[in-house]
Structure 1
Amino acid sequence: MTIPYFSYLISWFKKLVLATGVLALCAPVKGQDLKLWYKDPAARWTDALPIGNGRLGAMIFAGPGQERIQFNEETLWTGEPRVYSREGASKYLPEIRQLLFEGKQKEAEALAAEKFMGVLSGAGNKDVWFKEMRALKGLTGNPSAVNYDDSKWKEMIVPTPEGWEAAGWQGLDGAIWFRTTFELPESWKGKNLVLDLGKIRDQDFTYVNGKLIGSMDDAGAGRQYKLSASDVKPGKNYIAVQVLNYFDKGGFVGYKDTSRKLLVYPEGEQESSALSLSKAWKFLVQNDEPPAVPRFQADYQPFGDLFLNFPGHDKTSDYRRELDLRTAVSRTSYKVNGVTFTREYFVSQPDQVIAVHISASKPGSLHFSAGLGSPHKYSSVRKIDNQTLALSLKVRNGVLKGESYLRVVTSKGKVSASGNKINISGADAVTLYLTAGTNYKNYKDVSGDPSLACKKALASVSGKTYGAVRNAHVKEYQKYFNTFSINLGKDTRDNIPTDERLKQFASVSDPSFAALYVQYGRYLLISSSRPGTRPANLQGIWNDLLTPPWGSKYTTNINLEMNYWPAEMLNLSPMAQPLFDMIDELRSTGRQTAKMHYNAPGWVLHHNTDLWRGTAPINSSTHGIWVTGAAWLCHHLWEHYLYTQDKEFLKNRAYPVMKDAALFFNSFLVKDPRTGWLISTPSNSPEQGGLVAGPAMDHQIIRDLFRNCIQAASVLQTDKSLADTLQQKYKQIAPNQVGKYGQLQEWLEDKDDTTNKHRHVSHLWAVYPGNEINWEHTADLMKAARQSLIYRGDAATGWSLGWKINLWARFREGDHSYNLIKMLLSPAENGGAGSYVNLFDAHPPFQIDGNFGGAAGIAELLLQSQNELIDLLPALPSSFPDGDVKGICARGGFELSFSWNAGKLNRVEILSKEGGSCSLRYGQKILQIKTAKGERYQFDGELKKIQF
């Protein structure tokens, strides 16, 4: 009896230890808060906290007295369905290639710019409008005249380096008059003067005392006009400037050196004796309807703003705002006269509303107003009933319309609506439900009803308590977020506001901040790319500008792809579905571009796309003709298969798209007359070097596509003839080459400049995210790639830092990666790279790809699964000596949880999702195991199986 019972106790104890170990791996780190929090409201948009459900996004400023909630809806863009590709462009392809083979790059670029670029959108009648503005249409009198009455004009401080939009006039384009005066010093009499007005966008007509003294139509040139002594007079002199701005930033933008002032001074004398004209000028809008400017692609648009005004809440105590990554709920709290006021904000996917819940610790204390607004010129607000407002808008120079409804639900108190506001008084608690929709149905159809989404959303929350709506939101969100956890050390600094942690991160030990950054990246991906929505764009789903940087589009030569680097590895595979949906649409438009521009089968994508799925080359022939966007996106399809082992996805979704892309390159590749290799031309190495023949990045991506298609055909037992053809072509493609400086060559020729510090490291694609170059099979090329990255340097823009973090991880140099993590997680001050207060990535300006690239890079330090091996802690930085991770995914269909102490592996558990062979490596130890679907396998730090 004793021995069996003793054996039972030992067995029970072992099971307990095992269970405890598993729980230790799965449980969140004790004390790790997973919150971004601050002691002050947001002063700028990049201070505000983002929330979203993939379709709707909002930025929470959290001001106590005046709250601004800026919101977006993913389908509100400029533009319209149209053909982006140029008919007949393929006729010029042979000539462009020949010019490049002859070394005539400039001639090739000029021909391509004229005959090969995509089609611009329609232009307005600029000549007619220009003549009308110069004829002073819409004005009474002549504003350039000395005696013109400008007493009722408004004022604007000039210069405004980011355009008058930054002075509160977003969306303003057209003809604007400015006036100011200066007193002529006695010592300047009889002298010629210089009037320095800096750069003016786009065109100016500058008058002094009623005389036209200069005009330029060059937004990039400084205006330095000479005044003869006869142009000025003793005493007061009048300056009047008519500014014609057609698109984007307008007005007096000054100089890049913002300390440089607008001046008037005697010719030939020191500027130190000048009079400053950097001050408040009077201005008048003559006309804000300029003709449409032709565009290659469309811009993502802001939708509107919800403004809340709380009288008497300007002086507060105990203020705090936060974003809880565990629940995707933002929260603001503060005290006024002993009463605690609390606001909660989230965007519900189940109910499709932006919810704002406001409560107070004392009954009847809520007195405030809520109103809607929009930066769009064609927008208006109307009352639906005493609890509901509606915002209607139309995008300028586009076909899309939008509707937003605001519904107020109160607990006690009074509610009334008047004008564009709803007034609430004496309420205990208030919930606001904000909705938005457009007439967009798909990239070819804009026949939708923009109010339909609003009506459905309000019907969905009707009759539900706030608690029920909140609980449904949290449950839906957590089914994605809770699949993964990461601990990089005790969270000893969670009592420090996030902005302060950001400032201190580079100089103190705070590994848990890096873990927070990983989870923030996952939060942003879930919030901007839910299944059934459009993919995350250059700013995810958040944008407050009518003319955002780079259109807030999809840049496909790195940025879009980087957005999805964390998806598979960090257990967010469903978040990639919007990307796959867009790839299906791009395949359709890309076929048209392949035919029109290359007379080739299959599909092609150049370096940008938008809501309307343009695939033609845009902007400049020096960087816009880059042909491997489709092939790179196909890499994501194949990666999804590798991570999930989903053969149905491979057969029905991925392989047909990959095959089509491969058919294009099978036709597109041509023989280089000098080397005999097959090369890609015309193309470029993003985004430098101009139009060339044979950039290394193209060849790396094309080989990756061919290899993946060959493997997919083998898995699916199909298309053997095509696979054989691709195998033959694969062997003939120009190989990776090591240059004279020991570097991996970026181009076909050995012409790399070792002093080049460009942010793009395109020729290192085969190291990451590709895997053609690796330590196991191509060590010499790996060394050359490493040397190239050393030459390029560490300093970079935000997203480039994200890429370099991953590259150094692949080089297995974790401490070097960590140095770049510190650079990424540093304040983006004075226009530099790093992170903004809300941890948004700074290119600068804001681009979300750095958040995603950085999150993926930190994970890459802990686990890698290329080369058919699962590497545990391949590049662990010394700054992460202790930690654990749960739910990290590896290629082959495996999910892992493991822990480490003092830099050494402690325990690992593997879940095999689909069965099959698993090769596990830690240090020099390699373990081969056969797994069964759904089974878990546990090993200690020596990779010895834990037996029970």
Structure 2
Amino acid sequence: MQRSGSPYVLWYPRPAAAWLQALPVGNGRLGAMVYGGIDSEELQLSQDTVWAGGPHRYDNPRAAAALPRARELVFAGEREAAHRLLESDVMGVPVQQMPYQTVGSLRLAFDAPGGGSGEATGYRRELDLARAVHTVEFVREGIRHRREVFASAADQVIVVRLSADAPGAVGFTASFDTPMAATALSPDGRAIALDGRGGDASGVAGAVRFRALVRALPAGGEVSSADGVLRVSGADAVTLLIAVGTNHVDWRDLGADPAARALGDLTEAAGRPYPELVERHVADHAALFGRAALEIPATPAAALPTDERVAAFGDGTADPQLAALYFHFGRYLLISCSRPGTQPANLQGLWNDLTDPPWGSKYTININTEMNYWPAGPANLLECWEPLFALLHDLRVTGARSAREMYGAGGWVAHHNTDLWRGTAPVDGTTWGMWPTGGAWLALAVWERYRFTGDAGRLRDDYPVLAEAARFFLDALVEDPGTGHLVTCPSISPENEHHPGPGGTLCAGPTMDNQIVRDLFGAVDAAAGVLGLDEELRGLVRAAADRLPPMRVGSRGQLQEWQQDWDADAPEQGHRHVSHLYGLHPGAQITRHTPELFEAARVTLEQRGDAGTGWSLGWKINFWARLAAGDRSYKLLTDQLTPERTAPNLFDLHPPFQIDGNFGATAGITEWLLQSHGAELELLPALPGALPEGRVRGLLARGGFEVSLSWSGGTLTGAEIGSRTGATARVRTAVPVTVTRDGAEVAAERDADGVTVFATRAGEVYRLTPHG
């Protein structure tokens, strides 16, 4: 195979033998896992609205009557009784939300050249992240075969191109295979279709209908289709177009025609020749992917196949460029599974081969969904954030019912999970689900995006999501009879026990809740100020914020997870969730400017240890970066990039696969290079010693800046800061810098703390050069 020359390539010398060896392509809505077989090929297909069940309300009608008594029991320390009451009268109906489901697979069985079955030589399969094209090449019986696959957002189809360097050498049969309730058929002589339905789950009837449609466009040869089997013989090359449509319009409406949708996408794409399809796809993808790049010098290990690189990295082989490849793979995944108009990235992003995947592959909003979008701002993929905001507007509606009917409160609420049907009631059981702060955490994305963009128009559009999330807590917070503070109750600190046994997670005012609600109230105050709105609400949230419990340092020097100093006796000392460090990351309540809390956060991480699931390691990478401990942060990436935590295709393993670890680590890598959470830009705040040389371009910073920088010997050698909003730049560097624009020096002042301050103009780029 002709090598792409790009360092952003995953490659393997053999076909995939399992799903976690196959490689992902996706256009946000439609995805495939490609195996790259020789005699046969499998494209396992996913579509983001194929879910079990149908429009459904999970709210428990007994909740409003039960919650006052549950609060009394929690405050009295009668946790087991509170647990029983919440299980029976507050948990959602049904208690499990609906799972995301697979479409099935398109399987190709290839004709043997000349009727023979000789060995294939020169085999290579690769995924070029910069072009988002999967390619297989090999030679068999003297004929070179090339197979390309990509998922086009520009044309809303998956495209498969099969070619050979000898005429008439492409032949195969194609058919669908699925675990879903479905029927295969041949709608015409060049196409096959699969009509299916989402499954029933927890007593909710499956209501999503889908059609998968494949059409062959051959160069030469013959094509026929009958009884759901497509046959191509003697072709020089073939383009297969794959489209999937469903009846899903939104969480309330299943009135669309899946067959018409699939046919419309396929027909439009079929009007374009293959070179145009490729060109449109690559241009669309590159417009996002090309905005940022991380370059790290390669060592000899970088020449190994990708799975061998991971195995060697886990054994201690020096391969710093693997961190850069992992960064680019994370950006590739976000582009591929989250685009404007699609569903948000779920627990597996977009890719799923099961009818009941782990944890339903839902939206777990006590960390996992939020983590999926941590790279969107700093890694310069703001458009990929859009599906989360669409989800928030839906949850504002469904969550208002839950707030009103369960809590007797205004505003809106969501607990620790949601699904395609936008459930907002607590689910899965009290131990996990009795957490009313998931919606608030998600809503903070509204203010976070404004901090990156300065876009007041978008802030105005989304402000009701933020304001009404705060109104819920103004109504639902209750006074702790022991302290007088306003607290959430009943609640939990996800998903950790402070005492063993039933009710051992239940509490009032856990530290994470207080941090999130404080951030929410602060964001509403700031956003309303920007927009000139809601002076009364601003006063209410400021007053309520003053009554929230403060963060406390416990007897072991740790940041307390609960109001009470229970940490030392909690059953799981190494619990995967470190929820009370939300204030360190992604929040900014714990910084170098709060030294006692900063040290308590470090002590907490030391006591929790470095073990964890894939996503937990991803979060800890960010924690240690915020603590300016780059080597410790890098060590956790090396723990993650092992065969136990990273699949051969670089998917993160919980285990099993969850995509949040990929996105968490991607965000953590940006935190090594640039931090902007503390009202300043800090360059190379946590650069690991393992990355002494490199450069990065296109990272975004809060305040409306785009940053590129280079370093050598672990020291900054130069930076460029583009100003998008004209805000004053405050830049922290380890060494003094000179600031220039278009070659002319710019007036700047450096304070005693190492922060250089200078005025900017929107659209201008400023060069920072170290001196002294």
Aligned equivalent of 2:405? 596
Q: For residues 130-141 of structure 1, what are the structure 2 equivalents within 5 Å?
A: none
1:357 matched to 2:174: no
Structure 2 counterpart of 1:480, one-letter code: L
Aligned equivalent of 1:133? none
Aligned equivalent of 2:750? none
1:91 matched to 2:91: no
Q: Deviations over 1:592-643 (max 9, x none)?
A: 0001111000000000000000000001112211011111012211110000
| Preserved CA contact (<8 Å) 1:65 1:314 | no
Quick one: which of 921, 925, 932 aligns to 2:761? 932
Q: For residues 902-941 of structure 1, what are the structure 2 equivalents within 5 Å?
A: 902-923=713-734, 925-941=754-770
Counterpart CA distance in 2 for 1:72 and 1:600 is 38
Q: Deviations over 1:835-867 (max 9, x none)?
A: 000000000000000000000001101110011
Aligned equivalent of 1:758? 575
Counterpart CA distance in 1 for 2:212 and 2:726 is 49
Counterpart CA distance in 2 for 1:314 and 1:933 is 63
List structure 1 runs of 4+ shifted beyond 2 angstroms: 311-315, 488-495
For residue 432 of structure 2, give the secondary structure of its aligned residue in structure 1: coil
1:783 matched to 2:592: no
Aligned equivalent of 2:742? none
Quick one: which of 643, 652, 668 aligns to 2:476? 668
Counterpart CA distance in 2 for 1:741 and 1:935 is 50
Deviation at residue 427 of structure 1 after TM alignment: 0.8
Structure 1 counterpart of 2:613, one-letter code: T
For residue 685 of structure 1, give the secondary structure of its aligned residue in structure 2: coil
Aligned equivalent of 2:542? 727
Q: Deviations over 1:122-168 (max 9, x none)?
A: xxxxxxxxxxxxxxxxxxxxxxxxxxxxxxxxxxxxxxxxxxxxxxx
Is 82-91 or 876-885 further displaced after alignment? 82-91
Deviation at residue 395 of structure 1 after TM alignment: 2.1
Quick one: which of 578, 581, 589 aligns to 1:772? 589
Aligned equivalent of 1:399? 207
Deviation at residue 558 of structure 1 after TM alignment: 0.2
Structure 2 counterpart of 1:634, one-letter code: A
1:385 matched to 2:359: no
1:498 matched to 2:472: no
Counterpart CA distance in 2 for 1:88 and 1:99 is 17
Deviation at residue 753 of structure 1 after TM alignment: 2.7
Aligned equivalent of 1:749? 564
- TM-score normalised by length of structure 1: 0.76
Aligned equivalent of 1:79? 53
Structure 2 counterpart of 1:912, one-letter code: S
Is 751-760 or 686-695 further displaced after alignment? 751-760
For residue 297 of structure 2, give the secondary structure of its aligned residue in structure 1: coil
Deviation at residue 493 of structure 1 after TM alignment: 3.5
Q: For residues 629-648 of structure 1, what are the structure 2 equivalents within 5 Å?
A: 629-648=438-457
Deviation at residue 488 of structure 1 after TM alignment: 2.4
Aligned equivalent of 2:108? 308
Deviation at residue 31 of structure 1 after TM alignment: 6.1
Q: Deviations over 1:740-773 (max 9, x none)?
A: 0000000111010376111000010000001111
Deviation at residue 491 of structure 1 after TM alignment: 5.7
Counterpart CA distance in 2 for 1:726 and 1:884 is 43
Quick one: which of 442, 460, 464 aligns to 2:250? 442
Q: Deviations over 1:344-369 (max 9, x none)?
A: 00011121111100110111111211
Aligned equivalent of 2:123? 319
Larger CA Rg, structure 1 vs 2: 1
Deviation at residue 311 of structure 1 after TM alignment: 3.4
Counterpart CA distance in 2 for 1:529 and 1:314 is 42
For residue 928 of structure 1, give the secondary structure of its aligned residue in structure 2: strand
Aligned equivalent of 2:97? 297
Deviation at residue 49 of structure 1 after TM alignment: 0.1
Counterpart CA distance in 2 for 1:503 and 1:808 is 24
Is 719-728 or 875-884 further displaced after alignment? 719-728
For residue 568 of structure 2, give the secondary structure of its aligned residue in structure 1: coil
| Preserved CA contact (<8 Å) 1:88 1:596 | no
1:432 matched to 2:244: no
Structure 2 gap segments, 5+ residues each:
201-205, 498-504, 735-752
Counterpart CA distance in 2 for 1:630 and 1:367 is 52
Identity between Structure 1 and Structure 2 (%): 46
Counterpart CA distance in 1 for 2:124 and 2:302 is 14
1:62 matched to 2:67: no
Counterpart CA distance in 2 for 1:775 and 1:480 is 34
Counterpart CA distance in 1 for 2:600 and 2:133 is 47
Counterpart CA distance in 1 for 2:131 and 2:167 is 27
Counterpart CA distance in 1 for 2:660 and 2:80 is 32
Structure 1 gap segments, 5+ residues each:
1-29, 121-294, 829-833
Q: Deviations over 1:855-884 (max 9, x none)?
A: 000110111001111000000000010110
Q: For residues 432-831 of structure 1, what are the structure 2 equivalents within 5 Å?
A: 432-490=240-298, 492-506=300-314, 507-653=316-462, 655-689=463-497, 690-753=505-568, 756-776=573-593, 778-828=594-644
Q: For residues 211-226 of structure 1, what are the structure 2 equivalents within 5 Å?
A: none
Q: Deviations over 1:66-95 (max 9, x none)?
A: 111100111010011122112241111111
Deviation at residue 456 of structure 1 after TM alignment: 1.1
Counterpart CA distance in 1 for 2:632 and 2:111 is 52
| Preserved CA contact (<8 Å) 2:556 2:568 | no
For residue 916 of structure 1, give the secondary structure of its aligned residue in structure 2: coil
Deviation at residue 114 of structure 1 after TM alignment: 0.7
Deviation at residue 925 of structure 1 after TM alignment: 2.5
Q: For residues 112-191 of structure 1, what are the structure 2 equivalents within 5 Å?
A: 112-120=86-94
| Preserved CA contact (<8 Å) 2:347 2:660 | yes
Counterpart CA distance in 2 for 1:639 and 1:509 is 36
The number of residues matched between the two structures is 732
| Preserved CA contact (<8 Å) 2:87 2:430 | yes
Deviation at residue 314 of structure 1 after TM alignment: 7.2
Deviation at residue 462 of structure 1 after TM alignment: 2.5
Quick one: which of 859, 881, 884 aligns to 2:692? 881
